[in-house]
Amino acid sequence: MSTERSKSKPRIALPLGDPAGIGPEIVLKVLADVEMRQLVDFHVVGEAAALKPHIKAAGINVDISEDAITIAGFPPVQLHTVSQLGIGKWGLGEISALTGRACYEYARAAIRLAIEGSVDAVVAAPHTEVSVHEAGINFSGYPGLVALETGTPLNQTFLMLMSPVYRVVHVTLHESLSSALGRLTEDRILNALVATREALTGLGIPEGRIAVCGINPHAGENGAMGFEDQVVVEPAVVRAKALGVNAFGPYSADALFADREYDAYLAMYHDQGHIPVKAVSPRQASAITIGTPLLFGSVAHGSALDIAGIGKANPEALKQAIRNLTP
């Protein structure tokens, strides 16, 4: 089989995400995009059974075999088949253990390709967390999976949400607020700041300025609204500065994001970081996993089960995630 390959292009694996969601559709749309094909040597990870139900929605002329995806006007793209769907029953827009496990195994296989050096980076289509849980898999998002597969401690692995306006790293992510608050330790915040510094350096911003959100309203306001910021966050910032991290804060999160002079922001929990990014860039937000030895990106939206298969899926966030990991 002859596939598109150029030494000048980065090799990026695209695991399909949840077959029941919009992942396969937006992957096909990316493969049919001239800019994307000129930029990247793609390797798709999944299976034909996950792609074929999305051909009509993608609106492209494509032939899919067990080892290649061929779109009219472009060289074939290699399909690394990970057989998961078999003869099981599943449907577009439906939650199921079958598609949850398939999504998980596609991502695992793509990560292994990166570890082996067969690709330079991974950019994953969206997962459906509840479907992965239905499969009996302990899963809290892609960063944890990357940590597991690369042997990176979980307390050194973080998600950076990116948009044209903000880069926001999350100290905690997909968990209840009570659980997140219990895991906000000085060491974890320090690890997040160090990982953010390293990520900014990799993005070409070696002296990046990092603003740190407080845990409490008004960052505790000198203890009037709690002492956690003084006891936990401030010491972490001091230690980070001693390690050469250009960190500032903690600041009141409600006003901090109006100040756009910083290169990155450190959010303490999921909604504190996701809301500002998605408010200003709902269609362009993407994510990278930081603190691990490989480049792993993903979209910042879910699998959109409600619009799967009807042709309305917008691939822009996936394209932006790919651009983030290309020189």
What residue spans define the domains of the chain? 1-153+282-327, 165-280
Share above pLDDT 70 across residues of the chain, in percent, rounded to a whole number: 98
Indicate the pLDDT class of residue 2, thresholds 50, 70 and 90: very low
* 209-262 pLDDT per residue, tens: 999 999 999 988 888 998 999 999 999 999 999 999 999 999 999 999 998 899
Per-residue pLDDT, averaged over 293-313, amounts to: 95
Topology alike, domains 1-153+282-327 and 165-280 = yes
What does pTM read for this prediction? Answer: 0.87
Q: Is the pLDDT of residue 6 over 80?
A: no
Q: Is 103's pLDDT higher than 80?
A: yes
Residue 98 pLDDT more than 80? yes
Give the pLDDT of residue 324. 87
Provide the pLDDT confidence category of residue 281 given band limits of 50, 70 and 90. confident
The mean pLDDT value for 196-201 works out to 94
| Residue 288 · residue 297 · CB < 8 Å | yes
The angle formed by the CA atoms of residues 132, 135 and 138, to the nearest 5 degrees, is: 60
User: Residue 181's pLDDT is what?
Assistant: 93
The pLDDT-based confidence of 174 (bands split at 50, 70, 90) is: confident
Tell me what pLDDT residue 203 has. Answer: 86
Class of domain 1-153+282-327: alpha beta
CATH of domain 165-280: 3.40.718.10
Q: How far apart are CA 283 and CA 279, in angstroms?
A: 10
pLDDT for residue 3 is more than 70 = no
For the stretch 148-153, contacts whose Cβ atoms lie closer than 8 Å and that sit 24 or more positions apart, written own/partner, are 149/108, 149/111, 149/112, 149/115, 150/111, 150/115, 150/292, 150/293, 150/294, 152/291, 152/292, 152/293
Average pLDDT over residues 280-292: 89
Q: Smallest Cα–Cα separation from 111: which of 284, 289, 323?
A: 289
> What's the mean per-residue pLDDT of the chain?
94
- Can you tell me the mean pLDDT for 282-311? 93
**3-state secondary structure (DSSP) of residue 42:** strand
pLDDT at residue 172 is higher than 90: yes
Query: How does pLDDT run across 23-70, given as a tens digit for each residue?
Result: 999 999 999 999 999 999 999 999 999 999 999 999 999 999 999 999
pLDDT band, residue 123 (cuts 50/70/90): very high
The pLDDT value given to residue 327 = 67
pLDDT value at position 87? 75
